[in-house]
Amino acid sequence: MSNAPVPLAETESTPVLTTTMAHRGLSAKAPENTLSAVRAAHAAGARWIELDVQLLGDGTPIIWHDSGVRRCSNGRGKLRDLDIVRAKQLDVGNWFASAFAGERMATLDEMLALVNELNLSLNLELKVNPGRNARELVDVVLPKLMETLPAQRLILSSFSDAALDTLRAREPDPEKLHLAILYKKPPRNWAEAAARLSAYSLHVDWRRLNARTALAIAASPYKLLCYTVNDSRVFQRLRALGVDSAISDDPGRLLSSL
């Protein structure tokens, strides 16, 4: 029998990260943040996907990145001025490719049903665009998420301190709710911020991450993820620095370089 120390068992609720996550679904091959993009990610072998959630004007949680619909639909205007009936009239696929014409915005409920059907894990970004209410978003989405996905298959991320603080206030147990602080560039006090939030991970723009900070985070109790990594040489450099997962528009391209 070996006397080697037995590593602390990770609890059943601990996420099992993969080296890549599909950013907004497989957004290199399908319209971002749609059911098609998630099906494509799954078909390409992804086990984790990153998506954005926010509220329509009528309070319906919807999978969408921008504050408006112009870039990714055939419509115009702000999300906060749309209700679900008008949102569902938009074509959110044809802007990307005619093969996706007729695609509709996915509600959070529709997306969670698909995520469960495909047994995927979800890194959901609570997107608080300017002028929007972080607490309202949390109070609509958190109960749905916690009743639909086990803690192991869910990470909630945000750039918004108000969203993260509200999430942690609603669920103080870090094993029941894994939170990620999104940074464009990690501030000097990242460790203090992560400890205060009982965060699970830090998600950083790789372009603003220097080697020293990457190594410090990788050596900390917090997981380190980087977005948006689409270059295989960058991916390999980040892996060497201890980055746990790269959020990519096309994970297959990165993985084929290993």
Interface residues with ligand G3P (CB under 6 A)? 23, 50, 52, 65, 125, 157, 182, 203, 227-228, 247
Closest CA to 137 of 205, 60, 201: 60
**CB 21, min distance to ligand G3P, A:** 8
If the CB atoms of residues 125 and 249 are measured against Mg ion, the closer one turns out to be: 125
Residue nearest to Mg ion (CB): 125
Residue with smaller CB distance to ligand G3P, 157 or 160: 157
Quickly count helices (H) and strands (E) in the chain: 9, 9
Got the DSSP string for 72-101?
A: TSS--SBGGG--HHHHHHS--STTT-GGGT
- Of 258, 255, 233, nearest to 22 by C-alpha is 255
Q: Which is nearer to Mg ion, 151 or 182 (CB)?
A: 182
Q: Please classify residue 140 by burial: count the beta carbons closer than 10 Å to its beta carbon, then call 0-12 exposed, 13-18 middle and 19+ buried.
A: middle
Restricting to residues 52-81, name those near Mg ion by CB under 5 A: 52
Q: Which of 32, 103, 125, 244 is in the footprint of Mg ion by CB under 5 A?
A: 125
By beta-carbon proximity to ligand G3P, the closer residue of 37 and 58 is 37
- Kindly give the interhelix angle for 211-218 and 190-197, rounded to the nearest 10 degrees: 30
In the complex, minimum distance from the CB of residue 51 to ligand G3P, in angstroms, rounded to a whole number: 9
- Which residues are at the interface with Mg ion (CB under 5 A)? 52, 125
